[in-house]
Structure 1
Amino acid sequence: MRSELRVSMLQMTSGNRHAVNQQTVTEAAARAAGDGCDLLALPEAAGMMNKDKEDARRQITTEADDPFLLTCQELAARHGIWIQPGSTPVKAKDDRYLNHATLIDPTGAIVARYDKVHLFDVFLEGRPATGESSRYAPGAEAVLVDTPWGPWGLSICYDLRFPHLYRDYSKAGATVLFVPSAFTIPTGRAHWEVLLRARAIENGAWVIAAAQVGDHADGRHTWGHSIIISPWGEVICDLGGETASQHMVTLDIGKVASARQQIPSLKNERDYTFTRVSAQQTAPA
Protein backbone atom coordinates (compact mmCIF):
# COMPACT_ATOMS: atom_id res chain seq x y z
CA MET A 1 0.00 0.00 0.00
CA ARG A 2 1.33 3.43 -0.92
CA SER A 3 2.19 5.57 2.09
CA GLU A 4 1.62 9.09 0.72
CA LEU A 5 -1.39 10.49 -1.12
CA ARG A 6 -0.97 13.93 -2.70
CA VAL A 7 -4.44 15.52 -2.81
CA SER A 8 -5.49 18.68 -4.62
CA MET A 9 -8.79 19.85 -3.14
CA LEU A 10 -10.97 22.23 -5.16
CA GLN A 11 -13.50 24.57 -3.55
CA MET A 12 -16.04 25.63 -6.18
CA THR A 13 -18.88 28.06 -6.79
CA SER A 14 -20.58 25.83 -9.33
CA GLY A 15 -22.79 27.40 -11.98
CA ASN A 16 -26.12 26.27 -13.41
CA ARG A 17 -24.59 25.09 -16.70
CA HIS A 18 -22.23 22.17 -17.25
CA ALA A 19 -19.93 24.19 -19.49
CA VAL A 20 -18.77 26.71 -16.88
CA ASN A 21 -18.01 23.91 -14.43
CA GLN A 22 -16.20 21.92 -17.12
CA GLN A 23 -13.90 24.89 -17.65
CA THR A 24 -13.27 25.19 -13.91
CA VAL A 25 -12.31 21.54 -13.51
CA THR A 26 -10.17 21.63 -16.67
CA GLU A 27 -8.04 24.38 -15.15
CA ALA A 28 -8.01 22.68 -11.74
CA ALA A 29 -6.83 19.34 -13.17
CA ALA A 30 -3.95 21.05 -14.96
CA ARG A 31 -2.89 22.73 -11.71
CA ALA A 32 -3.18 19.46 -9.78
CA ALA A 33 -1.06 17.62 -12.32
CA GLY A 34 1.47 20.44 -12.38
CA ASP A 35 1.80 20.16 -8.59
CA GLY A 36 2.45 16.43 -8.86
CA CYS A 37 -0.83 15.41 -7.23
CA ASP A 38 -2.25 11.91 -7.26
CA LEU A 39 -5.88 12.95 -6.74
CA LEU A 40 -8.17 15.89 -7.49
CA ALA A 41 -11.19 16.09 -5.13
CA LEU A 42 -14.29 18.13 -6.04
CA PRO A 43 -17.45 19.11 -4.08
CA GLU A 44 -21.07 18.00 -4.25
CA ALA A 45 -22.95 19.35 -7.30
CA ALA A 46 -19.62 20.11 -8.99
CA GLY A 47 -21.08 19.33 -12.39
CA MET A 48 -24.15 21.52 -12.09
CA MET A 49 -26.00 23.42 -9.37
CA ASN A 50 -29.43 24.44 -10.66
CA LYS A 51 -32.62 24.67 -8.60
CA ASP A 52 -34.73 25.71 -11.62
CA LYS A 53 -36.53 22.42 -12.20
CA GLU A 54 -37.39 22.89 -15.86
CA ASP A 55 -34.03 24.37 -16.81
CA ALA A 56 -32.24 21.57 -14.99
CA ARG A 57 -34.42 18.94 -16.65
CA ARG A 58 -33.30 20.11 -20.08
CA GLN A 59 -29.67 19.55 -19.13
CA ILE A 60 -29.53 16.51 -16.87
CA THR A 61 -28.78 13.24 -18.64
CA THR A 62 -27.41 9.77 -17.89
CA GLU A 63 -23.95 9.10 -16.48
CA ALA A 64 -22.74 7.86 -19.87
CA ASP A 65 -23.76 11.10 -21.59
CA ASP A 66 -23.09 13.59 -18.79
CA PRO A 67 -20.75 16.25 -20.22
CA PHE A 68 -19.14 17.06 -16.88
CA LEU A 69 -18.27 13.46 -16.09
CA LEU A 70 -16.99 12.92 -19.62
CA THR A 71 -14.71 15.92 -19.16
CA CYS A 72 -13.46 14.54 -15.83
CA GLN A 73 -12.72 11.19 -17.46
CA GLU A 74 -10.79 12.86 -20.28
CA LEU A 75 -8.82 15.01 -17.82
CA ALA A 76 -7.92 12.04 -15.62
CA ALA A 77 -6.53 10.20 -18.63
CA ARG A 78 -4.76 13.27 -20.03
CA HIS A 79 -2.98 14.10 -16.78
CA GLY A 80 -2.66 10.58 -15.35
CA ILE A 81 -4.41 11.46 -12.07
CA TRP A 82 -7.31 10.16 -10.02
CA ILE A 83 -10.39 12.39 -9.88
CA GLN A 84 -13.19 12.18 -7.33
CA PRO A 85 -15.67 14.50 -9.13
CA GLY A 86 -17.68 15.21 -5.99
CA SER A 87 -21.16 14.60 -7.33
CA THR A 88 -23.40 15.69 -10.18
CA PRO A 89 -27.08 15.08 -10.98
CA VAL A 90 -27.88 12.26 -13.41
CA LYS A 91 -31.14 10.65 -14.45
CA ALA A 92 -32.72 8.02 -12.18
CA LYS A 93 -35.01 5.21 -13.32
CA ASP A 94 -38.11 7.22 -12.36
CA ASP A 95 -38.82 10.88 -13.07
CA ARG A 96 -36.26 12.03 -10.52
CA TYR A 97 -32.47 12.30 -10.48
CA LEU A 98 -29.61 10.71 -8.57
CA ASN A 99 -27.07 12.76 -6.65
CA HIS A 100 -24.28 10.77 -8.23
CA ALA A 101 -20.66 10.41 -7.10
CA THR A 102 -17.93 8.57 -8.96
CA LEU A 103 -14.24 7.78 -8.69
CA ILE A 104 -12.17 7.99 -11.89
CA ASP A 105 -8.76 6.34 -12.19
CA PRO A 106 -5.73 7.67 -14.15
CA THR A 107 -6.82 5.83 -17.30
CA GLY A 108 -10.10 7.77 -17.32
CA ALA A 109 -12.22 4.78 -16.26
CA ILE A 110 -15.01 5.15 -13.72
CA VAL A 111 -14.04 2.55 -11.11
CA ALA A 112 -16.71 3.28 -8.48
CA ARG A 113 -20.18 4.79 -8.36
CA TYR A 114 -22.18 5.97 -5.35
CA ASP A 115 -25.62 7.56 -5.17
CA LYS A 116 -26.40 9.72 -2.14
CA VAL A 117 -28.29 7.53 0.32
CA HIS A 118 -29.51 10.10 2.85
CA LEU A 119 -31.43 12.95 1.22
CA PHE A 120 -31.54 16.46 2.65
CA ASP A 121 -35.16 16.77 3.77
CA VAL A 122 -34.92 19.21 6.68
CA PHE A 123 -37.00 22.02 8.18
CA LEU A 124 -34.78 24.88 9.34
CA GLU A 125 -36.49 27.62 11.32
CA GLY A 126 -37.31 30.64 9.15
CA ARG A 127 -36.45 28.85 5.89
CA PRO A 128 -38.45 26.80 3.37
CA ALA A 129 -38.25 23.03 3.68
CA THR A 130 -35.45 21.65 1.52
CA GLY A 131 -37.23 18.60 0.09
CA GLU A 132 -34.31 16.99 -1.76
CA SER A 133 -36.36 13.79 -2.11
CA SER A 134 -38.93 15.62 -4.25
CA ARG A 135 -36.32 15.83 -7.01
CA TYR A 136 -33.85 13.07 -6.17
CA ALA A 137 -34.19 9.34 -5.63
CA PRO A 138 -32.11 7.88 -2.78
CA GLY A 139 -29.26 5.49 -3.34
CA ALA A 140 -29.29 2.17 -1.50
CA GLU A 141 -25.68 1.01 -1.55
CA ALA A 142 -22.56 1.99 0.38
CA VAL A 143 -19.49 1.82 -1.86
CA LEU A 144 -15.96 1.04 -0.69
CA VAL A 145 -13.33 1.04 -3.44
CA ASP A 146 -9.88 -0.54 -3.19
CA THR A 147 -7.06 1.74 -4.32
CA PRO A 148 -3.24 1.73 -4.09
CA TRP A 149 -3.65 3.74 -0.84
CA GLY A 150 -6.10 1.31 0.73
CA PRO A 151 -9.91 1.29 0.62
CA TRP A 152 -11.78 4.58 0.16
CA GLY A 153 -15.37 5.16 1.28
CA LEU A 154 -17.74 7.34 -0.73
CA SER A 155 -20.49 9.55 0.68
CA ILE A 156 -22.16 12.89 -0.03
CA CYS A 157 -23.01 15.84 2.22
CA TYR A 158 -26.07 14.96 4.39
CA ASP A 159 -24.70 11.42 4.75
CA LEU A 160 -22.32 13.05 7.23
CA ARG A 161 -25.06 12.98 9.88
CA PHE A 162 -25.34 9.19 9.77
CA PRO A 163 -22.20 7.93 11.53
CA HIS A 164 -22.93 4.23 11.04
CA LEU A 165 -22.12 4.61 7.32
CA TYR A 166 -18.57 5.73 8.08
CA ARG A 167 -18.25 3.18 10.87
CA ASP A 168 -19.07 0.40 8.44
CA TYR A 169 -16.56 1.75 5.93
CA SER A 170 -13.85 1.96 8.58
CA LYS A 171 -14.55 -1.50 10.01
CA ALA A 172 -13.99 -2.73 6.44
CA GLY A 173 -10.59 -1.01 6.40
CA ALA A 174 -11.24 2.43 4.86
CA THR A 175 -8.24 4.75 5.04
CA VAL A 176 -9.97 7.75 3.41
CA LEU A 177 -13.57 8.94 3.70
CA PHE A 178 -14.94 11.36 1.08
CA VAL A 179 -17.66 13.85 2.03
CA PRO A 180 -18.13 16.23 -0.96
CA SER A 181 -20.70 18.79 0.13
CA ALA A 182 -22.76 21.90 -0.50
CA PHE A 183 -23.68 22.86 3.06
CA THR A 184 -26.11 25.69 3.77
CA ILE A 185 -24.86 28.71 5.72
CA PRO A 186 -26.76 28.01 8.98
CA THR A 187 -25.96 24.29 9.12
CA GLY A 188 -22.39 24.89 8.01
CA ARG A 189 -21.79 27.46 10.71
CA ALA A 190 -23.23 25.23 13.41
CA HIS A 191 -22.26 21.70 12.44
CA TRP A 192 -19.83 21.34 9.52
CA GLU A 193 -16.41 21.13 11.17
CA VAL A 194 -17.48 19.38 14.36
CA LEU A 195 -19.25 16.57 12.46
CA LEU A 196 -16.33 16.05 10.09
CA ARG A 197 -13.82 15.96 12.93
CA ALA A 198 -16.02 13.48 14.77
CA ARG A 199 -16.14 11.15 11.75
CA ALA A 200 -12.33 11.30 11.47
CA ILE A 201 -11.69 10.80 15.19
CA GLU A 202 -14.16 8.00 15.87
CA ASN A 203 -12.95 6.02 12.85
CA GLY A 204 -9.24 6.89 12.75
CA ALA A 205 -9.49 7.80 9.06
CA TRP A 206 -8.56 10.66 6.77
CA VAL A 207 -11.57 12.80 5.80
CA ILE A 208 -11.59 14.77 2.54
CA ALA A 209 -14.53 17.16 2.32
CA ALA A 210 -14.43 19.46 -0.71
CA ALA A 211 -17.28 21.98 -0.58
CA GLN A 212 -19.23 24.56 -2.51
CA VAL A 213 -18.81 28.21 -1.47
CA GLY A 214 -20.43 31.60 -1.96
CA ASP A 215 -23.24 32.95 -4.13
CA HIS A 216 -24.39 30.69 -6.95
CA ALA A 217 -26.04 31.54 -10.26
CA ASP A 218 -29.22 29.74 -9.19
CA GLY A 219 -29.56 31.97 -6.10
CA ARG A 220 -28.24 29.59 -3.47
CA HIS A 221 -25.54 30.41 -0.94
CA THR A 222 -23.13 27.81 0.42
CA TRP A 223 -20.83 27.62 3.45
CA GLY A 224 -17.50 26.62 1.90
CA HIS A 225 -14.68 25.69 4.30
CA SER A 226 -13.49 22.73 2.25
CA ILE A 227 -11.51 20.74 4.76
CA ILE A 228 -9.11 17.84 5.18
CA ILE A 229 -8.90 16.19 8.59
CA SER A 230 -6.33 13.70 9.86
CA PRO A 231 -7.16 10.38 11.58
CA TRP A 232 -6.34 12.10 14.88
CA GLY A 233 -8.90 14.83 14.20
CA GLU A 234 -6.50 17.60 13.23
CA VAL A 235 -7.65 20.14 10.64
CA ILE A 236 -4.88 19.97 8.05
CA CYS A 237 -6.47 22.35 5.53
CA ASP A 238 -9.47 24.72 5.56
CA LEU A 239 -10.10 26.78 2.41
CA GLY A 240 -12.32 29.33 4.18
CA GLY A 241 -15.81 30.57 3.44
CA GLU A 242 -15.26 33.40 0.98
CA THR A 243 -14.07 32.31 -2.46
CA ALA A 244 -13.39 29.38 -4.76
CA SER A 245 -9.82 28.12 -4.36
CA GLN A 246 -7.56 25.09 -4.64
CA HIS A 247 -4.92 23.65 -2.35
CA MET A 248 -2.62 20.61 -2.23
CA VAL A 249 -2.10 18.47 0.87
CA THR A 250 0.03 15.34 1.30
CA LEU A 251 -1.72 12.68 3.37
CA ASP A 252 0.39 10.22 5.38
CA ILE A 253 -1.67 7.04 5.06
CA GLY A 254 0.38 5.46 7.85
CA LYS A 255 -1.38 7.75 10.33
CA VAL A 256 -4.51 5.64 9.93
CA ALA A 257 -2.86 2.54 11.42
CA SER A 258 -1.22 4.67 14.10
CA ALA A 259 -4.50 6.25 15.22
CA ARG A 260 -6.31 2.91 15.24
CA GLN A 261 -3.51 1.26 17.21
CA GLN A 262 -3.49 3.98 19.86
CA ILE A 263 -7.28 4.08 20.21
CA PRO A 264 -8.59 0.72 18.93
CA SER A 265 -12.26 1.61 19.17
CA LEU A 266 -13.07 -0.33 16.00
CA LYS A 267 -11.80 -3.49 17.73
CA ASN A 268 -13.24 -2.60 21.12
CA GLU A 269 -16.78 -2.35 19.78
CA ARG A 270 -19.18 -4.85 21.39
CA ASP A 271 -22.65 -6.12 20.63
CA TYR A 272 -25.34 -5.27 23.15
CA THR A 273 -29.02 -5.75 23.75
CA PHE A 274 -31.46 -2.86 24.01
CA THR A 275 -33.74 -2.54 27.00
CA ARG A 276 -36.31 0.15 27.72
CA VAL A 277 -37.70 0.64 31.20
CA SER A 278 -40.30 3.02 32.59
CA ALA A 279 -39.53 5.29 35.50
CA GLN A 280 -42.94 6.94 35.57
CA GLN A 281 -44.49 7.17 39.01
CA THR A 282 -48.09 6.30 39.62
CA ALA A 283 -49.96 9.30 40.96
CA PRO A 284 -51.30 8.80 44.52
CA ALA A 285 -55.02 8.04 44.76
Structure 2
Amino acid sequence: MSSFVAAAVQMRSGRNVADNIDAAATLIRAAAREGATYVQTPEMTNLLESNRASLFQKIVAEEEDPGVHAFQALARDLKIFLHIGSLAIRTGETKAANRGFLFSPDGALVSRYDKIHMFDVDLPNGESWRESNTYERGRESIVADLPFARLGIAICYDIRFPAIFRSQARLGAQVLTAPAAFTRQTGKAHWHVLQRARAIENGAFVISAAQGGLHEDGRETFGHSLVVAPWGEIVAERDNDEPGIILAEIDTAKVAEARRRIPAIANEQAFDPVEVDGLAEAAP
Protein backbone atom coordinates (compact mmCIF):
# COMPACT_ATOMS: atom_id res chain seq x y z
CA MET A 1 0.00 0.00 0.00
CA SER A 2 1.48 3.37 -1.00
CA SER A 3 -1.47 5.62 -0.26
CA PHE A 4 -3.38 6.45 2.92
CA VAL A 5 -5.45 9.24 4.46
CA ALA A 6 -3.75 11.18 7.25
CA ALA A 7 -5.34 13.66 9.64
CA ALA A 8 -3.86 16.35 11.86
CA VAL A 9 -5.85 17.43 14.91
CA GLN A 10 -5.57 21.07 15.97
CA MET A 11 -6.27 21.76 19.64
CA ARG A 12 -6.36 24.45 22.29
CA SER A 13 -5.36 22.39 25.31
CA GLY A 14 -5.96 23.91 28.71
CA ARG A 15 -5.24 23.18 32.35
CA ASN A 16 -7.69 20.30 32.88
CA VAL A 17 -6.30 16.93 31.79
CA ALA A 18 -9.67 15.17 31.53
CA ASP A 19 -11.16 17.98 29.44
CA ASN A 20 -8.17 17.91 27.09
CA ILE A 21 -8.41 14.15 26.63
CA ASP A 22 -12.12 14.47 25.83
CA ALA A 23 -11.51 17.30 23.35
CA ALA A 24 -8.81 15.32 21.59
CA ALA A 25 -10.94 12.17 21.47
CA THR A 26 -13.84 14.05 19.87
CA LEU A 27 -11.62 15.36 17.07
CA ILE A 28 -9.84 12.03 16.61
CA ARG A 29 -13.19 10.30 16.18
CA ALA A 30 -14.22 12.93 13.62
CA ALA A 31 -11.02 12.32 11.66
CA ALA A 32 -11.59 8.56 11.68
CA ARG A 33 -15.16 9.06 10.42
CA GLU A 34 -13.68 11.01 7.50
CA GLY A 35 -11.54 8.02 6.57
CA ALA A 36 -8.20 8.78 8.24
CA THR A 37 -6.16 5.69 9.08
CA TYR A 38 -3.33 7.75 10.63
CA VAL A 39 -4.30 10.54 13.03
CA GLN A 40 -1.86 12.90 14.75
CA THR A 41 -2.51 15.24 17.68
CA PRO A 42 -0.30 18.19 18.75
CA GLU A 43 2.42 18.58 21.33
CA MET A 44 1.12 18.60 24.91
CA THR A 45 -2.23 17.11 23.98
CA ASN A 46 -3.03 16.40 27.63
CA LEU A 47 -1.99 19.64 29.31
CA LEU A 48 -0.63 23.13 28.66
CA GLU A 49 0.43 24.46 32.03
CA SER A 50 3.21 27.02 32.39
CA ASN A 51 3.12 27.02 36.22
CA ARG A 52 5.63 24.36 37.24
CA ALA A 53 4.07 23.59 40.61
CA SER A 54 0.63 23.17 39.05
CA LEU A 55 2.07 21.01 36.29
CA PHE A 56 3.54 18.53 38.77
CA GLN A 57 0.29 18.37 40.68
CA LYS A 58 -1.44 17.14 37.52
CA ILE A 59 0.98 14.80 35.76
CA VAL A 60 1.72 11.16 36.58
CA ALA A 61 3.99 8.36 35.44
CA GLU A 62 3.31 6.78 32.06
CA GLU A 63 1.80 3.59 33.50
CA GLU A 64 -0.75 5.67 35.44
CA ASP A 65 -1.45 8.32 32.83
CA PRO A 66 -5.13 8.57 31.86
CA GLY A 67 -4.26 9.88 28.39
CA VAL A 68 -2.07 6.88 27.58
CA HIS A 69 -4.87 4.50 28.55
CA ALA A 70 -7.62 6.50 26.82
CA PHE A 71 -5.75 6.95 23.54
CA GLN A 72 -4.59 3.36 23.46
CA ALA A 73 -8.22 2.23 23.75
CA LEU A 74 -9.33 4.79 21.16
CA ALA A 75 -6.79 3.55 18.60
CA ARG A 76 -8.11 0.04 19.13
CA ASP A 77 -11.76 1.08 18.94
CA LEU A 78 -11.28 3.13 15.76
CA LYS A 79 -8.78 0.72 14.16
CA ILE A 80 -6.34 3.52 13.35
CA PHE A 81 -2.71 4.38 13.88
CA LEU A 82 -2.95 7.10 16.49
CA HIS A 83 0.05 9.38 16.93
CA ILE A 84 -0.28 11.44 20.10
CA GLY A 85 2.10 14.33 19.44
CA SER A 86 3.10 14.43 23.09
CA LEU A 87 1.90 14.16 26.65
CA ALA A 88 3.51 15.63 29.75
CA ILE A 89 4.66 12.53 31.64
CA ARG A 90 6.19 12.50 35.12
CA THR A 91 9.59 10.78 35.19
CA GLY A 92 10.68 11.75 38.71
CA GLU A 93 9.95 13.95 41.67
CA THR A 94 10.93 17.13 39.83
CA LYS A 95 11.36 16.02 36.22
CA ALA A 96 9.07 15.15 33.33
CA ALA A 97 9.23 13.99 29.74
CA ASN A 98 7.65 15.67 26.74
CA ARG A 99 6.75 12.29 25.26
CA GLY A 100 5.05 11.29 22.02
CA PHE A 101 3.22 7.99 21.56
CA LEU A 102 2.28 5.94 18.51
CA PHE A 103 -0.48 3.36 18.95
CA SER A 104 -1.47 0.71 16.41
CA PRO A 105 -5.01 -0.29 15.36
CA ASP A 106 -4.92 -3.16 17.86
CA GLY A 107 -4.05 -0.77 20.68
CA ALA A 108 -0.41 -1.77 20.98
CA LEU A 109 2.22 0.84 21.75
CA VAL A 110 4.37 0.95 18.60
CA SER A 111 6.84 3.52 19.90
CA ARG A 112 7.41 6.37 22.31
CA TYR A 113 9.59 9.40 21.65
CA ASP A 114 10.97 11.94 24.13
CA LYS A 115 11.57 15.40 22.65
CA ILE A 116 15.28 15.92 22.09
CA HIS A 117 15.61 19.70 21.81
CA MET A 118 14.40 21.81 24.70
CA PHE A 119 12.86 25.22 23.94
CA ASP A 120 15.18 27.42 26.02
CA VAL A 121 14.75 30.87 24.46
CA ASP A 122 14.14 34.54 25.20
CA LEU A 123 11.89 36.13 22.58
CA PRO A 124 11.79 39.81 21.53
CA ASN A 125 8.31 40.33 22.99
CA GLY A 126 9.51 39.39 26.48
CA GLU A 127 8.43 35.75 26.42
CA SER A 128 10.98 33.51 28.08
CA TRP A 129 10.89 29.72 28.03
CA ARG A 130 13.14 27.19 29.79
CA GLU A 131 11.83 23.73 29.00
CA SER A 132 15.03 22.16 30.29
CA ASN A 133 14.10 23.27 33.83
CA THR A 134 11.20 20.83 33.74
CA TYR A 135 11.71 18.28 30.97
CA GLU A 136 14.47 15.72 30.48
CA ARG A 137 15.57 15.60 26.88
CA GLY A 138 15.38 12.43 24.83
CA ARG A 139 18.40 10.91 23.14
CA GLU A 140 16.94 8.65 20.44
CA SER A 141 15.43 9.60 17.08
CA ILE A 142 12.61 7.25 16.09
CA VAL A 143 11.63 5.84 12.70
CA ALA A 144 8.58 3.56 12.84
CA ASP A 145 7.46 1.11 10.18
CA LEU A 146 3.75 1.37 9.39
CA PRO A 147 2.00 -0.83 6.79
CA PHE A 148 1.77 2.15 4.43
CA ALA A 149 4.88 4.24 5.18
CA ARG A 150 8.03 4.68 7.24
CA LEU A 151 7.35 7.42 9.79
CA GLY A 152 9.93 9.73 11.36
CA ILE A 153 8.89 11.13 14.74
CA ALA A 154 9.90 14.48 16.25
CA ILE A 155 8.29 17.25 18.33
CA CYS A 156 7.95 21.02 17.82
CA TYR A 157 11.33 22.73 18.43
CA ASP A 158 13.06 19.73 16.83
CA ILE A 159 11.91 21.15 13.47
CA ARG A 160 14.73 23.72 13.70
CA PHE A 161 17.36 20.97 13.78
CA PRO A 162 17.59 19.45 10.29
CA ALA A 163 19.99 16.66 11.26
CA ILE A 164 17.20 14.70 12.97
CA PHE A 165 15.06 14.67 9.85
CA ARG A 166 17.98 13.92 7.54
CA SER A 167 18.95 10.94 9.67
CA GLN A 168 15.37 9.70 9.50
CA ALA A 169 15.25 10.18 5.72
CA ARG A 170 18.49 8.23 5.37
CA LEU A 171 16.75 5.39 7.21
CA GLY A 172 13.99 5.52 4.61
CA ALA A 173 11.43 7.69 6.38
CA GLN A 174 8.84 8.86 3.85
CA VAL A 175 6.70 10.86 6.28
CA LEU A 176 8.27 13.22 8.81
CA THR A 177 6.38 14.70 11.75
CA ALA A 178 6.72 17.63 14.15
CA PRO A 179 3.53 18.02 16.21
CA ALA A 180 3.84 21.35 17.95
CA ALA A 181 2.80 24.09 20.32
CA PHE A 182 4.61 26.87 18.46
CA THR A 183 4.36 30.30 20.03
CA ARG A 184 2.35 32.81 18.02
CA GLN A 185 5.41 35.02 17.52
CA THR A 186 7.75 32.32 16.22
CA GLY A 187 4.98 30.60 14.29
CA LYS A 188 4.07 33.72 12.37
CA ALA A 189 7.70 34.20 11.38
CA HIS A 190 8.94 30.66 10.77
CA TRP A 191 6.29 27.91 10.96
CA HIS A 192 5.54 27.49 7.26
CA VAL A 193 9.08 27.90 5.99
CA LEU A 194 10.49 25.38 8.46
CA GLN A 195 7.91 22.74 7.59
CA ARG A 196 8.41 23.26 3.86
CA ALA A 197 12.20 23.24 4.18
CA ARG A 198 12.24 19.89 5.99
CA ALA A 199 9.94 18.45 3.29
CA ILE A 200 11.96 19.81 0.36
CA GLU A 201 15.44 18.94 1.59
CA ASN A 202 14.41 15.35 2.41
CA GLY A 203 11.90 14.73 -0.37
CA ALA A 204 9.36 13.68 2.23
CA PHE A 205 5.86 14.47 3.44
CA VAL A 206 5.75 16.49 6.66
CA ILE A 207 2.68 16.30 8.91
CA SER A 208 2.51 18.65 11.90
CA ALA A 209 -0.56 19.00 14.11
CA ALA A 210 -0.53 22.18 16.17
CA GLN A 211 -1.89 23.88 19.25
CA GLY A 212 -3.63 27.17 18.48
CA GLY A 213 -5.05 30.23 20.19
CA LEU A 214 -5.03 31.78 23.65
CA HIS A 215 -4.64 29.07 26.31
CA GLU A 216 -5.78 29.06 29.93
CA ASP A 217 -2.22 29.49 31.18
CA GLY A 218 -1.87 32.71 29.17
CA ARG A 219 0.32 31.54 26.33
CA GLU A 220 -0.65 32.02 22.69
CA THR A 221 0.11 29.41 20.05
CA PHE A 222 0.06 29.76 16.30
CA GLY A 223 -2.11 26.91 15.04
CA HIS A 224 -1.97 26.39 11.26
CA SER A 225 -1.63 22.60 11.34
CA LEU A 226 0.02 21.54 8.09
CA VAL A 227 0.61 18.72 5.66
CA VAL A 228 3.43 19.44 3.20
CA ALA A 229 4.22 17.29 0.16
CA PRO A 230 7.76 16.19 -0.84
CA TRP A 231 8.08 18.91 -3.49
CA GLY A 232 7.32 21.55 -0.87
CA GLU A 233 3.71 22.40 -1.65
CA ILE A 234 1.21 22.70 1.20
CA VAL A 235 -1.52 20.14 0.53
CA ALA A 236 -3.59 20.75 3.68
CA GLU A 237 -3.69 23.52 6.26
CA ARG A 238 -5.92 24.54 9.14
CA ASP A 239 -5.57 28.19 8.16
CA ASN A 240 -6.33 29.63 11.61
CA ASP A 241 -5.78 28.89 15.30
CA GLU A 242 -9.15 27.25 15.97
CA PRO A 243 -9.54 23.60 17.04
CA GLY A 244 -10.44 21.25 14.21
CA ILE A 245 -9.00 18.71 11.79
CA ILE A 246 -7.35 18.61 8.40
CA LEU A 247 -7.05 15.60 6.13
CA ALA A 248 -4.79 14.75 3.22
CA GLU A 249 -4.11 11.75 1.04
CA ILE A 250 -0.50 10.69 1.42
CA ASP A 251 0.90 8.90 -1.64
CA THR A 252 4.38 7.63 -0.86
CA ALA A 253 5.06 7.21 -4.59
CA LYS A 254 5.51 11.01 -4.57
CA VAL A 255 8.41 10.57 -2.14
CA ALA A 256 10.22 8.29 -4.58
CA GLU A 257 9.46 10.71 -7.41
CA ALA A 258 10.84 13.73 -5.50
CA ARG A 259 13.98 11.85 -4.53
CA ARG A 260 14.55 10.83 -8.15
CA ARG A 261 14.19 14.43 -9.31
CA ILE A 262 16.54 15.84 -6.67
CA PRO A 263 18.63 13.02 -5.18
CA ALA A 264 19.95 15.18 -2.36
CA ILE A 265 20.22 12.30 0.08
CA ALA A 266 22.16 10.14 -2.37
CA ASN A 267 24.33 13.09 -3.43
CA GLU A 268 25.25 14.11 0.11
CA GLN A 269 29.00 14.20 0.78
CA ALA A 270 31.06 14.28 3.95
CA PHE A 271 33.25 17.34 4.36
CA ASP A 272 35.78 18.88 6.72
CA PRO A 273 34.96 22.31 8.19
CA VAL A 274 37.98 24.62 8.00
CA GLU A 275 38.35 28.01 9.69
CA VAL A 276 40.35 30.70 7.92
CA ASP A 277 41.60 33.85 9.63
CA GLY A 278 40.42 36.64 7.36
CA LEU A 279 42.54 39.14 9.27
CA ALA A 280 45.84 37.40 8.65
CA GLU A 281 48.57 39.61 7.28
CA ALA A 282 49.03 39.52 3.55
CA ALA A 283 52.23 37.91 2.37
CA PRO A 284 54.96 40.48 1.58
TM-score normalized by the length of structure 2: 0.96
Judge conservation of contact 1:21–1:68 (CA < 8 Å) in 2. Answer: no
Query: 1:133, CA displacement in angstroms?
Result: 0.5
For the Cα contact (< 8 Å) 1:153–1:176, is it kept in 2?
Answer: yes
Q: Give the match's secondary structure for 1:249.
A: strand
Aligned to 1:62: 61
2:226 alignment partner in structure 1: 227
- Structure 2 residue aligned with 1:48: 47
Q: For the residues of structure 1 that align with 2:57 and 2:261, how far apart are their CA atoms?
A: 52
CA deviation vs aligned residue, 1:192-213 (integer Å, no higher than 9, x gap)? 1001100000000000010000
The residue type equivalent to 1:135 in the other structure is T
Question: Hey, what does 1:131 align to over in structure 2?
Answer: 130
Deviation of the 1:128 alpha carbon = 3.7
239-248 or 11-20: bigger deviation: 239-248
Structural mapping, 1:179-198, within 5 Å: 179-198=178-197
1:92 Cα deviation from its structure 2 partner: 2.1
Q: Distance in 2 between matches of 1:261 and 1:64?
A: 44
Whole-angstrom distance in 2 between the partners of 1:93 and 1:184 = 27
Task: Pick which of 20-29 and 216-225 moved more.
Answer: 20-29
Equivalences, count: 282
Secondary structure at the aligned position of 1:160 is classed as helix
Tell me the percent identity: 38
Question: What is the DSSP-based 3-state SS (H/G/I as helix, E as strand, rest coil) of the residue aligned with 1:122?
Answer: strand
| CA distance in structure 2 between the partners assigned to 1:61 and 1:241 by the alignment | 32
Q: Which runs of structure 2 are paired with 1:206-285 in the superposition (5 Å)?
A: 206-282=205-281
Q: Which residue of 2 aligns with 1:116?
A: 115
Deviation string for 1:129-179 (max 9, x for gaps)? 211111111111111111112321110000011001000000110011110
How many Å separate the matches in 1 of 2:27 and 2:108?
A: 19
- Change over 3 Å in CA distance of 1:71–1:121 after alignment to 2: same
Aligned residue identity for 2:75: A
Shift of 1:93: 4.3
| Displacement of 1:228 | 0.4
Q: CA 1:271/1:281 → structure 2, altered by over 3 Å: closer, same or farther?
A: closer
The amino acid of 1:258's aligned partner reads E
Q: Is the 8 A contact 2:3 2:250 kept in 1?
A: yes
Q: State the SS of the aligned residue for 1:87.
A: strand
Name the residue aligned to 1:177.
Answer: 176
1:96-124 deviations in whole A, cap 9, x for unaligned?
11100011100111111100000000111
Corresponding position of 1:142 = 141
Q: What letter matches 1:107 in structure 2?
A: D
Shift of 1:88: 0.8
Residues 214 and 243 in structure 1, CA contact (< 8 A), matched pair in contact too: yes
Give the equivalent residue in structure 2 for 1:87. Answer: 86
The equivalences for 1:159-174 within 5 A come to 159-174=158-173
Distance in 2, Cα, partners of 1:279 & 1:23: 60
Take 1:150 and 1:128, find their aligned partners in 2: how far apart are those partners? 38
Question: Does the residue aligned with 1:49 lie in a helix, a strand or coil?
Answer: coil
- Would you identify which runs of 4 or more consecutive aligned residues in structure 1 move more than 4 Å? none
- What residue ranges of structure 2 are gaps of 5+ in the alignment? none
Structure 1 counterpart of 2:12: 13
Name the stretch that deviates more: 26-35 or 174-183. 26-35
- Is 2:174–2:252's contact at 8 Å kept on the other side of the alignment? yes
CA distance in 2, matches of 1:93, 1:268: 44
Unaligned runs of 5+ in 1: none
Contact 1:29 1:79 in 2 (8 A): no
Letter in 1 for 2:148: W
Partner amino acid for 1:213?
G
Show CA shifts across 1:67-98 (max 9, x none). Answer: 11211111100111111011011012462111
Q: Which residue of 1 aligns with 2:106?
A: 107
CA distance in 1: counterparts of 2:182 and 2:28, whole angstroms: 24
Note the C-alpha offset of 1:22. Answer: 1.4
- Judge which range, 124-133 or 253-262, deviates more: 124-133
Distance 1:25 1:130 in 2: 25
- Bigger drift between 92-101 and 40-49 goes to 92-101
Question: SS of the residue aligned with 1:197?
Answer: helix
Contact 1:10 1:42 in 2 (8 A): yes
